[in-house]
Structure 1
Amino acid sequence: MDSGAALNAFAGDSVTVALSGIDILNVHVGDILCDSNNLVPVTSRLKARIALFTPKVPLLAGQECVFHNQSYTESCLIKKLLSQINRNTGEIQKKNPRMLTKNTSGEIELTLQRPVCAELYSASRELGRFMLRDSGTTIAAGVITEILS
């Protein structure tokens, strides 16, 4: 910490972390430090609830986009559109919709190109939120509801 060495830090503290026994080439943007007894899940498949903004084209199963979470980005594929959800009430309006259009919400299944650290929104608001982008435009915001193996 700014005042010197410390054994622990709390939210809001400004700290510099020194890692020993780890090659700096193995540390990447998006890597997460966590308690070894309570590891953050690593996955390449997840279910999420999203709120679609105003994409140029409707969201379809099989569409590729970019998954943004915290400081990392990863290519992803919309594997399935599971349901269309009423934005105000959260009730399912349609199961297995053919597409999601602008200003709608839904539940989807995503497949990421590489495994990433992810957490359920209910467990960690910071790690459980993400954005989907396509062609440099943010098309949706979402929260992770289930981590699939």
Structure 2
Amino acid sequence: MRPKPATFDKKKIVAENRRARFDYAIEQTFEAGIALTGTEVKSLRFGEGSIAESYAEVTHEEVWLVNSNIPEFSHGNRFNHEPKRPRKLLLHEREINKLHGAVAREGMTLVPLMVYFNTRGRAKVEIALAKGRKAHDKREAIKEREWKKEAGRLLRDRG
């Protein structure tokens, strides 16, 4: 098995789910390709698209991105795409089995973090295996973020 890079090569970020990092404790991230039609790719290249309330699910040995919104392409014709259709995510079989096991056994969730184009021009989705946070965990995360901000401010002022 070839080692994966720590961060994926992201050239142009199209859509980001910033709320996911607050609502979920992220365990592991994966990079997946997306099966798109031509007008969907064109819409994404224009920077349109949203994954704010979307999620991924494993069904029949396949992973699907559900409830993501890629608006219709403005110059598209009658062959334009459906904006909220489920889109197939392209992963290796080993990765799919790992995701399926984690979701089934450990009650984890598949959350899309961002949609981007890599340096080769391919549309990719960064999905995360995550556990939902409770309200008190969220408050703890806010306190920690505020403390880091304050500590950085103090260090900058002193030194």
TM-score (norm: length of structure 2): 0.23
| More helix as a share of residues | 2
| More strand as a share of residues | 1
TM-score (norm: length of structure 1): 0.24
